[in-house]
Amino acid sequence: MTGTPGDEYMRLDVQVCFALHATSRAFDAFYRTRLRKLGLTYPQYLAMLALWEADGLTVKRLGERLRLDSGTLSPLLKRMEGAGLVERRRSRDDERSVSVHLTRRGTELKDRAVDIPRHVLEATGLDLVDLVQLRRTLDRVTAQLDAAVEASAAGTQPSF
């Protein structure tokens, strides 16, 4: 192989980020067909998962859980509120704080969505043990990348 040193790392087929991107797009396509029946987009489904787990999250906390900024989350919640799935309530104690609560319709939607994770597991071809391990590995990668970004922003080197 000719080229400059390091060229082997510049190949698309060895990029983990590309494999993750391609996997993400495949997941999006898979979810799109199932979520259409529920009237949800994938980001809305993620928001519903977070709220089914802990109803009444503040918008700030929901954004943190979903890794979405307010410019993305606010229109998402507005559409979900328009669909009658959630309602936003301003805190009486702190006007700056807004919490998101499931409506009856939003709560009932969970019963229709309950089989989606099983369908995802089946579609991946992985068993539950492998899927859990993959999730743990991806969580570690995410934490390391977050630390690297934080360190870079602070002008320091991460301690790996």
Condensed to tens digits (0 to 9), the pLDDT of residues 34-54 reads 999 999 999 999 999 999 999
The predicted pLDDT at position 159 comes to 61
Give the separation between CA 5 and CA 93, rounded to whole angstroms. Answer: 61
CA distances from 63 to 19, 58, 143 (A): 26, 8, 17
The predicted pLDDT at position 158 comes to 62
The domain limits of the chain are 11-125
pLDDT, greater one: 153 or 81: 81
Please give the single-letter amino acid code of residue 110.
K
Kindly report the CATH number that applies to the domain delimited by 11-125: 1.10.10.10
Mean per-residue pLDDT, 21-27 = 96
Residue 1 pLDDT greater than 60, yes or no: no
* CA 70-83-86 angle, 5° bins: 55
Residue 104 pLDDT greater than 60, yes or no: yes
Name the pLDDT band for 137 (thresholds 50, 70, 90): very high
Q: Phi/psi at 127 (nearest 5 deg)? A: -90, 170
Mean per-residue pLDDT, 107-125 = 96
What integer best gives the mean pLDDT of the chain? 93
